[in-house]
Structures are given as structure tokens and as C-alpha cells.
């Protein structure tokens, strides 16, 4: 998603497009690797853009709730990466290097039905992450 699309998304959702939000987005876009809130803070600071850590956390939370960014939790470390896929999708995370790949196939309708039958809930949504080793980190024997 480029900056123009980003701005349009905010307009469509009737959200305020503040400069900090745009700068944080651009920083993530340019990095192309997952960044932690602290890393974002530092790299913005290097560019003479001082954005408070609280503001960074809030923006990242917002991006995540809009399905624009994915939050990678790996033990105590939390990093964010921008999503390329707009519609419903999933992620696989490398447990060694942290590299993330997105994929848009999702085949859990049967599972969802089972959950509804056994719990009586109406399922509206789900989150599911895959973890493993990427091609470069895969153990070969
Ligand atoms: Zn994604
Ligand atoms: Zn890896
Ligand atoms: Zn799914």
C-alpha cells in the first residue's frame, strides 16, 4: 500500500490523518522488515522527527485494528510489519529470523462450523498465526 492509498483508507474510515501517523506508516513502509516501537522511535529520531513512544504505540494499535499492520509477538519482543494483502489473510513467522510471509488462502470453514456447534457461539472472526522456519533458516540434515 502506498502513501496515497493509506491516506484514502483513513479518509474512508473517517479517521484523522495526522502527521505522526503518516510518518510512522512511511517508516514501516521503507523498512520492509518488522520494527519494534522502540526501533521506529529511534529511526524517526535520526530523521529529526521526534514522535513520542506513546503516540507510536497508539498508531501501531490503530494500524493493527485496521488490518494494515501485523503485530509479531515473539516472546518478549513485539514488532510490526505492514500488510500487503488487504482482505482476510494469515501470516507465517520464522522462529529464527522473524521473517513474515502473508498468504490469502484460508480453509477453516469446517473448523469454524465445529466451533459454533460445540460452543453455541456465532463465529464472526478468527486469528491464526503459523510459526516455523523459513527456507533460509530451515534445518537441513
Ligand atoms: Zn498481513
Ligand atoms: Zn528465517
Ligand atoms: Zn482465516
Q: Distance, CA 141 to ligand 1 centroid (Å)?
A: 31
Cell of 2: 502506498
Q: Is-contact 126 112, C-beta < 8 A? A: yes
C-alpha 74 – ligand 3 centre gap (Å): 21
**What residue has cell string 512511511?**
26
CA of 14 to the centre of ligand 2 (A): 38
Confidence of residue 66 (pLDDT cuts 50, 70, 90): confident
Q: Which residues pair with 94 in a beta bridge?
A: 132
**What's residue 45's pLDDT?**
95
pLDDT for res 25: 94
> How much is the pLDDT for 4?
82
Task: Tell me which ligand sits closest to the C-alpha of residue 92.
Answer: 1
Per-residue model confidence as pLDDT tens digits over 35-58: 999 999 999 999 999 999 999 999
Whole-model pTM: value is: 0.80
Q: Which ligand is nearest to the CA of 128?
A: 3
Q: How far is the CA of 127 from the centre of ligand 3 (A)?
A: 7
Q: Distance, CA 93 to ligand 2 centroid (Å)?
A: 8
Amino acid at each position: 500500500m502506498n502513501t496515497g492509498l493509506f491516506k484514502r483508507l483513513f479518509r474512508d474510515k473517517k479517521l484523522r490523518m495526522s502527521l505522526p501517523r503518516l510518518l510512522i506508516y512511511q517508516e514501516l513502509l521503507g523498512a520492509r522488515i518488522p520494527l519494534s516501537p522502540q526501533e521506529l522511535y529511534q529511526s524517526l529520531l535520526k530523521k529529526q522527527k521526534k514522535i513520542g513512544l506513546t503516540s507510536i504505540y497508539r498508531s501501531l494499535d490503530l494500524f493493527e485494528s485496521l488490518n494494515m499492520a501485523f503485530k509479531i509477538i515473539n516472546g518478549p519482543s513485539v514488532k510490526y510489519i505492514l500488510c500487503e494483502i488487504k482482505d482476510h489473510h494469515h501470516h507465517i513467522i520464522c522462529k529464527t529470523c522473524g521473517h513474515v510471509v502473508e498468504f490469502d488462502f484460508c480453509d477453516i470453514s469446517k473448523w469454524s462450523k465445529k466451533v459454533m456447534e460445540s460452543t453455541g457461539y456465532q463465529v464472526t472472526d478468527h486469528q491464526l498465526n503459523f510459526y516455523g522456519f523459513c527456507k533460509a533458516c530451515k534445518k537441513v540434515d
